[in-house]
Structure 1
Amino acid sequence: MKKTLVLSAALMTLVGLSSFAEERTLIDFTTLKADTAVYPQNEDGSSSDEQKPNQNGRTLMDYRKAAGASFTKDQKELMKSSLAITQWEVVLNSSARTVSSLALSQVREAPSKAFDTVMGVRVVFPTGAYNANAKIVPPFSIPAYEPYGELDENGDRKAAESGDGESSGPKWLFEADDPSDKASPAYGLVKNVGTIKKIAVTTMGMNFPHALYVLLSDTDGVERRYFMGYLGFDGWKTLEWNNPEYISEVRTREIRVYPIYPRGEPFAKFEGFQICRDAAHIGDDFIGYFKDVKIIYDKANLETERDIADEDIWGIIGRKESARQALEMSRFGNKQVNRYVEQRKMAVEEDFTPTIDANNSAAAQSNGGQAAN
C-alpha cells in the first residue's frame, strides 16, 4: 500500500511538471527552402522558365508600400523578400570585417540525407590572434504582428478568409500553420511565452572550437543571447541551454497577478545565431549547418473560456498591435527598398565586350598579309 502511495505521488509530480511547460519548434530551416521565383520580367512581360526559385512562399513579405512613388510598377513588383535560406545574412563584427571576409561569408541551402534541406553557413574569420564573431541573421526582423494570408498567383498575399466566425488560418504570418499543434513548426515567432525553461539547437559540428549562441527577443524588444555550447564535435547533435534560474516548485515561485485585459500576448522571436571565435583558436574558414531551434517555456496566459468577448467590444489590443505592425513594416520596408536600389545600381557584366571578334581578327590578319606583299 505504501509503495502504491509513493508511486502515485511520484506520478502526480511528473504530470504536474510535464504540464508546467510547453515545447514548440521556434524555427525549422527545412521549411524555408526556396520555392517561389521573384525576378524581373522579360521585355514581352513574361517570366523566364529558366529562373530558379529564390524566395520562400510561406514567409514572403511585400514591402512596396514603403517604396514611395518614384518607382515604376515593374520595380515595385520585385520588392518582395522572405525567410528563404539563401536570403539570410552573415554580419561580422568590426575586427572580422575585411573585404574578402565580407565577400566570402554567406548562407546557402545544404542538401541533407537526414533532413532534406538545412541551412549551411560559411564564415571567414581573421587568422590573427584576436577575438571575432559573426551573426547569422534573417533578411529582416521577423514581424510579430503581420496578419496571415494565402498567396495568389502573382505572389501577393490575400487577407485570410473566415467562416463560421473562426479564422481559416493562423492569426499571424510567422506563427505555426496550426498553433494548436505542438508538432507544427513556427517561422521564428511563438506567442504566449512566459519564462523560457530550455532551448535546443540541432546542428552539425565540424570539430571547430567556436562557441554558439542563440539570439531571441521578446515583446519589449529586448534581445538576449543564450550560450548553447561549443562546436568541437563531428556529426549532428542537439545542443541545449537550461535556464539555471528556472524554479520548478510552484510553492517557491513569486506569484504575480496581472490584469487579464487589455494585455497583448508576450512572444519569443528568433533573431539569429552568433558564432564566436576566440583569439587562441584557429581562424580562417568556418563551416556550420543548422536544422532547427526549439524552446520549452511556461505559458504567459492560460487559455480559458470568457463570458464576454472583451476585444470585440473595446478593440484595445487590436489598435495597439496595428500600430506596432505599421512601425515594423516601416522599418522593414525602408531597409529593403535601400537594398533594392543598391542592387539595381550594381554592375551585372562579368567580362568586357570583345573589341575584336574572331571574324574581325581573321580579316585583319588577311589584310595585313596582303599589305606585306
Structure 2
Amino acid sequence: MKKTFVLSVAGMMLLGASVFAKESTLIDFTTLDADITIKAQDSDVEIPENSRTIMDYGVAAGATFDQDQRDLMKTSLYLGDWEIVLNSSAQTVGALANSQVVPAPVRESAKVPFAGKNVMGVRIVFPSGAYNANAKIVPPFEIPAYEPLSTADANGNRQPQTDEEKASGRTLFEADSDDSPAYGVVKNVGTIKSIAVTTLGMNFPHGLYVLLGDTDGVTRRYFMGYLGFDGWKTLTWNNPDYISEVRTREIRIYPIYPRGLPFVKFAGFQITRDASHVGDDFIGYFKDVKIIYDKAELTSERDIADEDLWGIVTKKESARQNFEMSRFGNKQVNRYLEKSKMATEASFSSSLDENSTSNAQSNGGQAADAK
C-alpha cells in the first residue's frame, strides 16, 4: 500500500525545487453543467443539478419530513446554484433580488478551446452611491474535502463506493486523474507558487480576488488584478515570497506518519468596487481557476503499511468528514424550510365573477403599490 514520506534534508538539497512543482486545475466551471433533474415522486417540478457534485442533505433533516420532501433535499455545484454575497451596506432589496450566477453559453464560433460550453456568468448589482462595496461569488455549500468518491444515479442518490473508487484514494471533489480538472479540492499542496484565473473582461474597473481555504480552516484571498480589459484573459497571481532556490529555503522536517495530506479548496471569488467608480450592474464571466504549487509530500512504497496497522489518518479524516456533513446539512435544511414558507402566489384570487357586466373595465384603472 502506498504511504507518504517527507524527503530528507540531503535529498532536498540535491534536487531543485522545480522538480516538485505541479500544475492543477482547481475548478473548471465548464464541467458544472446540469446533467440530471431532481423531483419529488408526486411532483412535476424539476430541479436541475450536476450529478458529479450533488450532495444529499436529507440525512441531516429531522423525522418530521416525509419522503417527498427528502427527495428534494439535494444540491450541487451546478452554476445556477451559486450565490452572490454582498457586503452589508450594499444589500439593498434590488441588489439582492437581481444579483445572480447563471450558466453562460460560449458561442460555437468563438475562437477559444471551450467554444460551445457553459462558463460561469455573474451579474452583481452594486450601489450607485459613491462608497466602497464588494461581493463574494460563493458555492452553494462549503466544498467538503473528505467526502468519499462515489457515483450518483439519475435521481441524485449516491451509490455505495465500488472497490475501484475506494482503491483510488480520491475524494468526491478531487480530480478523477492527474490530467483532469478538480471540482474544488486539490490535495498534497505545499507552498502555492502561482494562481491563474481565465476570465472574460468587459472593461469594468473592479478588482478580482480568489478565495482559497486550507487544511486549518483558514480562508485567504489573493488579488488577481483589475478587470478593466475587453476579451478573454488569464489573470495571474505570483507568490512574492516563493523561494525557487532550495539552498536558501528554510528546511523543515516532519514526522513521516501520521500526517494527513494538506489541501486547498476553492471558496469563491470576490469582486471589489471602489467608491470612485461607477456602480450599478457588473457583468463577468469565469472559465476556470488553476494553481501551481510545491507538493507537500512525495509518495513511495514503505516496508510496513502504517495506515493499515494503526488507522490514525482514517480516523481523523472520518471525524472531519462527519463534521463537514453535519454543518452542511443543517444549513441546507434551514434554507429548505425557509423556501417552503415563501409565498408562491403571484396574484390574488378574485372575489368577482370574471364575466360579470358589473365589473369595471380592466384597463380603466391602475393598481398602486402600498408605500
Q: Same fold (TM over 0.5)?
A: yes
Offset at 1:150? 1.2
Offset at 1:68? 1.3
Of 298, 312, 319, 2:315 maps to 319
1:162 is matched with 163
1:26 is matched with 26
Distance 1:254 1:364, change over 3 A: closer
What is the alpha-carbon distance in structure 2 between the residues aligned to residue 99 and residue 364 of structure 1?
35
Offset at 1:303? 1.1
Contact 1:26-1:188 at 8 Å conserved across structures: yes
> Higher Cα Rg: structure 1 or 2?
1
Contact 1:35-1:53 at 8 Å conserved across structures: no
Q: Is 2:36 the partner of 1:40?
A: no
- Structure ranking higher on relative contact order (CA contacts 8 Å, 6+ apart): 2
Backbone CA RMSD of aligned residues:
1.8
What is the alpha-carbon distance in structure 2 between the residues aligned to residue 335 and residue 177 of structure 1?
28
For structure 1, list consecutive stretches of 5 or more residues without a partner in the other structure: 1-14, 366-373
Of 78, 87, 110, 2:81 maps to 87
Q: Is 2:252 the partner of 1:250?
A: no
SS, match of residue 299 in structure 2: coil
Q: Equivalences for 1:287-302 in 2 at 5 Å?
A: 287-302=283-298
Q: Which amino acid aligns with 1:110?
A: A
Contact 2:36-2:154 at 8 Å conserved across structures: no
Offset at 1:352? 2.2
Q: Equivalences for 1:1-373 in 2 at 5 Å?
A: 16=16, 18-42=18-42, 48=44, 54-113=48-107, 114=112, 115=114, 116-162=117-163, 167=166, 171-178=170-177, 181=178, 183-356=179-352, 358=354, 360-361=355-356
Q: Which amino acid aligns with 1:224?
A: R
TM-score where L is the length of structure 1: 0.87
Aligned residue pairs, count: 339
Distance 1:255 1:18, change over 3 A: closer
TM-score where L is the length of structure 2: 0.87
Q: Which amino acid aligns with 2:79?
A: I
What is the alpha-carbon distance in structure 2 between the residues aligned to residue 69 and residue 53 of structure 1?
23
SS, match of residue 122 in structure 1: strand
Deviations 1:329-373 (A, max 9, x none): 111001000000011111112222334454x325989xxxxxxxx
Deviations 1:32-91 (A, max 9, x none): 11111113333xxxx64xx55511110000111111111112111111111110110000
What is the alpha-carbon distance in structure 1 between the residues aligned to residue 189 and residue 334 of structure 2?
34
For structure 2, list consecutive stretches of 5 or more residues without a partner in the other structure: 1-14, 361-371
Tell me which protein shows more helix as a share of its residues: 1
Distance 1:30 1:300, change over 3 A: same
What is the alpha-carbon distance in structure 1 between the residues aligned to residue 341 and residue 102 of structure 2?
24
What is the alpha-carbon distance in structure 2 between the residues aligned to residue 94 and residue 170 of structure 1?
41
